[in-house]
Structure 1
Amino acid sequence: MADFVREVMTPGVVAVLPDASLVEAAQLMRAEDIGDVLVAEGGRVVGVLTDRDIALRAVADGADPLTVSARAVCTPEPVVVGPGDPVSTAVDLMRGHAVRRLPVVEDGRPVGMVSLGDLAVAQDPTSVLADISQAEPGGGRGGAPA
């Protein structure tokens, strides 16, 4: 297994400004084929917004995703990890805070994300979770939803 977060993380940053609408954030997630974006201001992470946040904290409550901001729905001040931190630190933080993803931050600036899927692939590339994490999006759904 990898020793450091930098060896397992997904490099690069996909972010929205705090005042971006949920529609803008969702469109960016779709375009990038990801389930989360960082909410960043001045090059610093101020929150994490997931597709689940949009669905459960806004849409399910009847909020208008065109007018609700990312800041209003995101998880503020998320727990972060550094690229030089041991993978075990990322695992402990995910477990302790019940999160599936951690922003990777270096010198206060986001440099990537590490997810449960990233850790699964690093730990056991032949596991079912690793297979799912590495699969092409949409493969196996078998058509349109009912």
Structure 2
Amino acid sequence: MSSRVSDVMTAAPQSLPLDATLYEAARIMRDEGIGDVLVTYAGRLCGLVTDRDIVIRAVAESRDTSLTPLGDVCTAELTTVHPEDDTDTVARLMSEHAVRRLPVVDAEHHPVGIVCIGDLALANGDSGPLPEISKAPPNN
């Protein structure tokens, strides 16, 4: 039986405005032990930046992280879900779009959460290593 997204998501995800720098996003990721930050414009979701985006799209391209805005490297074409959606829908969308996390938005497209593949594993009580890995503290 599937759960609702609101039951498994991380509420109040970290977000920064589109013109914030990669340096700011990297510091939040480090300080919070997370791998992604939602990107907003006027409070509405407009992108997602991951630690991998910073490395591949910025550092490897010799961009100055203290000057480069998130808008230059974030993923803007996002698949999103709503809090009332079910986790089966999340799993299907993750599979179809080959992503590990989906932002959760309200009716006005304001970010209210994020759900990742580990959240689904914990919610479904899957056997195997994924639930245990998902419970482990971040490797700092």
Aligned residues: CA RMSD: 1.4
| Structure 2 letter corresponding to 1:73 | V
Give 1:142's aligned residue: none
The answer to whether the 8 Å contact 1:19/1:71 transfers is: yes
Alpha-carbon distance between aligned partners in 2 of 1:131 and 1:38, rounded to the nearest angstrom: 26
Give 2:56's aligned residue: 56
CA drift of 1:47 comes to 0.1
Aligned residues: 139
CA drift of 1:109 comes to 1.4
Give 2:23's aligned residue: 23
CA drift of 1:129 comes to 0.9
| Structure 2 letter corresponding to 1:11 | A
CA drift of 1:126 comes to 4.8
Q: Scaled by the length of structure 1, what TM-score is found?
A: 0.89
The answer to whether the 8 Å contact 2:2/2:88 transfers is: no
Question: Structure 1: 5+ residue runs without aligned partners?
Answer: 140-146
Give 1:144's aligned residue: none
- Identity within the alignment, %: 47
Question: Structure 2: 5+ residue runs without aligned partners?
Answer: none
The answer to whether the 8 Å contact 2:83/2:105 transfers is: yes
- Could you list the structure 1 runs, at least 4 aligned residues long, displaced by more than 3 angstroms after superposition: none
Alpha-carbon distance between aligned partners in 2 of 1:136 and 1:114, rounded to the nearest angstrom: 17
